[in-house]
Every structure is written in structure tokens, then in C-alpha cells.
Amino acid sequence: MSTERLTLVRRELGAESLSRTTSSSSSSGGKSKSKECTFNAEDGYVRMFLRGRPVTMHIPDQQRESYSLDQKGALPDRKLKLQWVYGYRGRDCRSNLYLLPTGEIVYFNASVVVLYNTEEQQQRHYLGHNDDVKCLSVHPDMVTIATGQVAGNSNGKLLAPHVRVWDSVSLNTLHVIGMGVFDRAVTCVAFSKSNGGTFLCAVDDANDHMLSVWNWQKEKQLADVKCSNDSVLAAVFHPMDANLIVTCGKSHINFWTVEGNTLSKRQGVFEKHEKPKYVLCVAFAENGDAITGDSSGNIYVWAKGGSRISQVVSGAHEGGIFSVCVLKDGTMVSGGGKDRKVVLWDHAYRKKADMEVGEPLGPVRALAEGKPGELFVGTTKNAIIRAAFPDTLTPIVQGHTDELWGLDVHPTMEQFVTCSQDKQVHLWDANSHQPLWSKTIEDPGRSAGFHPSGAVVAVGTMTGRWLVLDTDTQDLVSMHTDGNEIISNVKYSPDGNFLAVASHDNFVYIYAVTEDGRKYSRAGKCTGHSSFVTHLDWSADSQHLVTNSGDYEILFWEASSGKHVTSMDTVRNQEWATSTCTLSFNTFGVWPEGADGTDINAVCRSHDGSLLASADDFGKVHLFSFPCSQSRAPSHECCGHSSHVTNVAFLHDDSHLISTGGKDTSILQWGV
């Protein structure tokens, strides 16, 4: 649940709920807060309680006779297996892209470390982390990998930040380091290079940014020291001296010597040279010189072992230099932020060639040498590009860069659409894992829905505006504004004759749709919710709608007029075309004990009607059997996202499930 929604919900639920912001407290002894479900056989309804509020769900007639609260739900016979991770975390992480001898590039997104073989179009995934991965280092043996993560929380339990050392062939975890030692997050990690890679250094995100050195095989800390009050952006061992570590960051570069259990510091001296606001990256020349790139666009060479500048390439880039990478032949490439350039330098630091990454793919964040003549470029817009001089730039990984909620699947093809607050709409091919097209819109995106013909797709935004795009040409077909709040849902009726537009202004706007999704005229407005509309489903016959809202109401509507339907006999036996409402008789089993009503962000029924997937606030995707009408039904739990999971959808043939992440902005594709 996004923070804005949370504050809305809390505001609307008043002070009684503010005193209990954690869901766990609701099970405290003797309080009636976590009331059990009740079943009223006579009137045919089940009542559950969220934050002490009753939610009444009516049971279809054919299930009334046999229904009992005591039946245990069954686990689904199928499981989810992570098949593909879309995107890369370049937005706010660095030095996190490397080529392994297996031909795989290794990088991370959300809590998953991805090993992607670009030739064979295969991904493998290391899933040992339980929250955002922030840093990565490859051992000199080119097999062992260390990754560091942030402090997380899972269902209210705090998870300590730590480093995991693992084998990139078997994907087995070898060592877990620093549990209870690091504060907030591990932001830098590196193996030593010259002593067989016995040491590992790490920097955490404490106020003092502690630098620590470990014997990772023994999981033993050798030394630690306060590194800097300011942010530390890189920490690496000298390639020829396992007792020398270089760190850099805001207005500093430090050279540390490990002596027994102490670390002594020499500060880099800029003397007459321009002192940058940030030293952004550091690498080493073949002869042992340190090479830095900084926020002023200068490259400085620091003579081996010394803390003085021996050579300057001033104005190497316009704006910051986020990455420098020394190639196997001793030449060097540097990557620019503001100028988005990748520049090749010879042994004497003379410019040999440059190429520019296009604006949509963004500033250069990380550089890695590929096979001879080839580079991999990670960008701050979460893309990875395969590059070769003079001007070959081919994107091989793309993703969103801001909170992501909008998702829908194509009605007949293995395609899906996503839209995010980064104002990007992507139509993805689920087989090639590449966008078929990407379109920039004027407002942050929030919701998406395909017309049943697949010819057009509607996109709802954060501003009350919604638009319709042609699926083939990505052209704008239609644009409308309803209210000025978030459009949480845009959903066409199964017959394609209506579009329901649900808003955070508490209304659902219904449009009549003609000309195969090209013409729209307002047919009605559903008025009756006292809180923002969160989910909606159409009946299979396109005659009715059901909606959920932020204060846990379930309301039914007549599609043609927008009239509120109050007689349960009209809708009790209605067959619903989709099951995306988190509050309904067929889905309420997804709610965990003591849930606070914002814990489940989305549910989706498989097209064959046998499975129900849910997206929760704890980074988990759950798979249940459908219908899911026993309280606290059993499920298979799947990890990969790191923050709240915002949406889930089964592809049209149920072969895969797609899930989207909020803060982690990632898209995960699961085999079913």
C-alpha cells in the first residue's frame, strides 16, 4: 500500500484505528479487535472484520446449503516458479553489473540477484535475500559472489541487514555475514583481489558509515572503523595489496591500511586541483594507479600507493562520471551522467571514441566489459544496454523507474501492459521479455485495462485523467478527465460495450463504448461509496459491477445506469467475469490474521477458475485455490519483490503470472 493511500485510509478510519497502526497488536489478548468470522446460514452471508469493521459477503444459493466456516481450504496443486525479472536497479545503486565466465551478466533488482545469459535468453535467480539488495561484488575466482541488503521487515518482524556470500553456479548460500553488526543497510561490498580473495570489506548506512573488514570464510570480523559522516559511494581493495582499501563519496577519497585489527586512514589530497562535491567511482589501472571519476566531470589518477594526484583528465565528461572501468587490454571506459556518454580512453588517457546513450534509456550508471569489443552499460533509468564502439547500443533489459501499480494482460496474446508513476506505458511481450513499445504520457500512470478485442488499452492516471491508446500503433485514441484524483481502475465490460473508471473521489464513472473502443460517451456515475474506490469487477453478462472501497465496503451497481443495487437477491448468484476485488465471498480467505485492511493490494483469479493469486504489503505473492472462501486459507508463498506488491495478473492462457512491485518498481514473471 502506498503511503498516500495509507494516510487516506487512516484519516478516514478515524482516531480509533490510529492507535493501532500495526496489524499485530490486533490479536492482543481479550480485545475484540480481531473478531472471528461469523456465518449466518439463515440470511446466507459470512461476516469478517477488518480493523473492527464488519464486512458482509453474501453466499451464492448453490453454496449456502453446504457451506461451513470449519471446512479447511486446500493448498493449490500448482506452485509458482520465478521465471523472469524485468528491469535492473540502476536508479540508486552503483557498481552492480558484471559479466561471469558462464556468459551470464549478474545484477540485481528488488530482492532478487539475476544471472542473465543474454545469448541463450535464460535467467537464473539467487533468492536468498529477503529485502532490497543494494550492492554486489564478484570474487577473483569469478564464481563466488557477495551481495548486501537493507534492513527489512516481514509481517512486522525486523530483518537485519547483512551480506550473503553464495556460489553463482549452484546458487547455494555459503556464508551469511554481519547479522546484527550492520545498521540500516549494506551499501558497499568488495572482495580482496590479491590474497586469493580471503578478505571482504563492507560499508553500512549508519550515520558514521562504518567500514568493516572480514575473513568471510570464517565469518569473522577483522577490523572496523568509522568511515565518514557523509555518504560513501564505493569501497574497493587495491588489486595488488590486500591490506589497502580505497573508499570514496561525498567530498572525500580515503586510502585505508589494514594492520591487524585496525584500519588507518590517509585522505586523498586534491592540492591545486578542483575538489569535487562527490568522488563517484574508483577503479585501478594495470600498474596499480587508482582512477577516480567525480561529480565535476574530471578523471583523476592517483599514483600507486600514494594519496596524491599524478594525472588529470579535466572535463572528461560534462557533469558527473558514475563509472570507470579498466578493460582487459588496459584501455579504459568511463560513463557520464548528465552527458549520457560512454567514452573510450587509451593507456595514456587520451580520448579514442565516444557514444551517447539515448535520453529515454538514461544516464550511465555502471559499466562492465563483455566479450572482446563489447560492453554492458547499466543506466539510472533501470536499463541494461549491450554496447560496442563506434555506435552500437542495444537495450537488453528495461524497466520502470517509479512506483508501479498499473497492469493488465492481453485478452488473447502473450502480452501485458504496465504503467507507472514514471509516466511510462510499456506493452511487453511475455516470451521475448522486451517491450513491444513504450510511450511517455503527460501524467503519472496508475491503472490499465485492455478492451476485450485487444485493439485498445485504457490507462488511468494519478490526476483524474484517463486515456485510450491503440495497442498496435500506440497512438492516442481518446482522452478524458473525471474528477482530479487517482484513477485506481479502468476496466472494460466483457462484451466491450462499457468502460468503468473508478476514482479516489469515491465515484465510478461508466462510459458507453462504440467503434471497437474508439468512441466514448458518459452513460452513468456510481454514487454511494463514502471512501475511495479500490477494486472493481464486471459480471459475466456485462449487466452489473461490484466495487470495493478504502473503508471496506462492497457495493453493487447496474452498469447501464450506474444505479446502486441494494437487493442482494439480484446479485448474489451473479457470475463475475473476473475476481479482482479483495473483499468478496470467493476471495476473503486471502486475508491474514489481524490484517489491517491495507495489507492485501490485489487479487486475481486464473482464467480456468482454479487459482487465486494475491499481492501483499510484505513483498509476497501468494497462490491460493479458488474459490478462496474459508478464512485464512492456506497458500504457497513466493518471494522476490522487496516492498509492497501492488498488482497480479494471469496471462490469458494461465501459463504465467505477472506481479508488479511498488517501491521496487520491478515486474516479475512466474511460471504456473
Q: H/E/C letters for each residue in 530-574?
A: CCCEEEEEEECCCCEEEEEECCCCEEEEECCCCCEECCHHHHCCC
CB of 437 closer than 8 Å to CB of 415: no
DSSP notation for 603-644: EEE-TTSSEEEEEETTSEEEEEESS--STT---EEEE---S-
Q: Taking Cα atoms as reference points, which of 554, 624, 544 lies closest to residue 585? A: 554
CB of 607 closer than 8 Å to CB of 49: no
pLDDT(286) > 70: yes
Q: Radius of gyration of the chain from Cα atoms?
A: 27
Q: Tell me the per-residue pLDDT of 539-573, one tens digit each, with 9 for 90 and over.
A: 999 999 999 999 999 999 999 999 999 999 989 99
Question: Which residues lie below 8 Å from residue 633, measured CB to CB, with a gap of 6+?
Answer: 73, 589, 590, 624, 625
pLDDT(413) > 90: yes
Residues 609-635, mean pLDDT to the nearest whole number: 96
Residues 178-183, mean pLDDT to the nearest whole number: 96
Question: Which residues lie below 8 Å from residue 306, measured CB to CB, with a gap of 6+?
Answer: none
pLDDT at residue 26, rounded to an integer? 34
Q: Tell me the per-residue pLDDT of 437-457, one tens digit each, with 9 for 90 and over.
A: 999 999 999 999 999 999 999
Where in 178-326 does DSSP place strands (E)? 186-191, 199-204, 210-215, 220-226, 232-238, 241-249, 252-259, 262-267, 279-284, 290-294, 299-302, 309-313, 321-326
pLDDT at residue 30, rounded to an integer? 36
Q: Taking Cα atoms as reference points, which of 138, 134, 196, 148 lies closest to residue 168? A: 138
pLDDT at residue 280, rounded to an integer? 98
- Lowest mean pLDDT, pick from 5-9, 392-396, 434-438: 5-9
Q: Tell me the per-residue pLDDT of 207-234, one tens digit each, with 9 for 90 and over.
A: 999 999 999 999 999 999 999 999 999 9
CB of 612 closer than 8 Å to CB of 604: yes
pLDDT at residue 34, rounded to an integer? 56
Give the percent of the chain with pLDDT over 90: 90
Q: Tell me the per-residue pLDDT of 129-142, one tens digit each, with 9 for 90 and over.
A: 999 999 999 999 99
Cell of 398: 528495461
How far apart CA 432 and CA 444 sit, in angstroms, is 26
| Cα distances (Å, whole numbers) of residue 400 to 89, 340, 449, 458, 541 | 10, 18, 18, 19, 36
Residue 19: how many other CB atoms lie within 10 Å: 7
pLDDT(359) > 70: yes
pLDDT at residue 9, rounded to an integer? 43
Residue 670, strand partner residues? 82, 657
Cell of 310: 599524478
Q: Tell me the per-residue pLDDT of 591-604, one tens digit each, with 9 for 90 and over.
A: 998 888 889 999 99
HSE toward the beta carbon, residue 121, CA cutoff 13 A: 5
pLDDT(346) > 60: yes
Classify burial at 359, counting beta carbons within 10 Å of its beta carbon; exposed 0-12, middle 13-18, buried 19 or more.
exposed
Q: Taking Cα atoms as reference points, which of 103, 129, 127 lies closest to residue 114? A: 127
Task: To the nearest 10°, report the CA torsion of 641, 645, 649, 654.
Answer: 40
Average pLDDT, the chain: 93
Residues 144-159, mean pLDDT to the nearest whole number: 88
pLDDT(609) > 70: yes
Q: Name the band, by pLDDT with cuts 50, 70 and 90, for residue 405.
A: very high
Bridge-based pairing state of the strands 465-470 and 600-605? unpaired
pLDDT at residue 12, rounded to an integer? 44
CB of 70 closer than 8 Å to CB of 658: no
Q: Name the more confident of 445 and 155.
A: 445
How far apart CA 506 and CA 529 sit, in angstroms, is 5
Question: Which residues lie below 8 Å from residue 304, measured CB to CB, with a gap of 6+?
Answer: 240, 287, 288, 289, 290
- Lowest mean pLDDT, pick from 18-32, 189-203, 625-639: 18-32
Query: What separation, in Å, do the N-terminal and C-terminal C-alpha atoms of the chain show?
Result: 25
Please give the model's pTM, rounded to 2 decimal places: 0.93
Residues 434-439, mean pLDDT to the nearest whole number: 97
pLDDT(238) > 60: yes
How far apart CA 131 and CA 667 sit, in angstroms, is 15
Q: Taking Cα atoms as reference points, which of 619, 445, 515, 522 lies closest to residue 458? A: 445
How far apart CA 446 and CA 487 sit, in angstroms, is 7
pLDDT(462) > 50: yes
Q: Among all chains, which residue has been given the C-alpha cell 496508475?
A: 446
Q: Taking Cα atoms as reference points, which of 128, 127, 133, 171 lies closest to residue 149? A: 133
Cell of 514: 462504440
Q: Among all chains, which residue has been given the C-alpha cell 533501470?
A: 382
CB of 77 closer than 8 Å to CB of 390: no
Give all strands of the β-sheet with 435-440 in edge-to-edge order. 404-409, 415-420, 424-429, 435-440
* Secondary-structure percent of the chain, ordered helix, strand, coil, rounded to 5: 5, 50, 45
| Cα distances (Å, whole numbers) of residue 257 to 125, 254, 267, 612, 625 | 36, 10, 11, 56, 58
Bridge-based pairing state of the strands 262-267 and 279-284? unpaired
pLDDT(110) > 90: yes
Measured at the CA of 60, the angle between CA 55 and CA 61, to 5 degrees, comes to: 130
CB of 596 closer than 8 Å to CB of 13: no
Q: Among all chains, which residue has been given the C-alpha cell 494475491?
A: 614
pLDDT at residue 596, rounded to an integer? 84
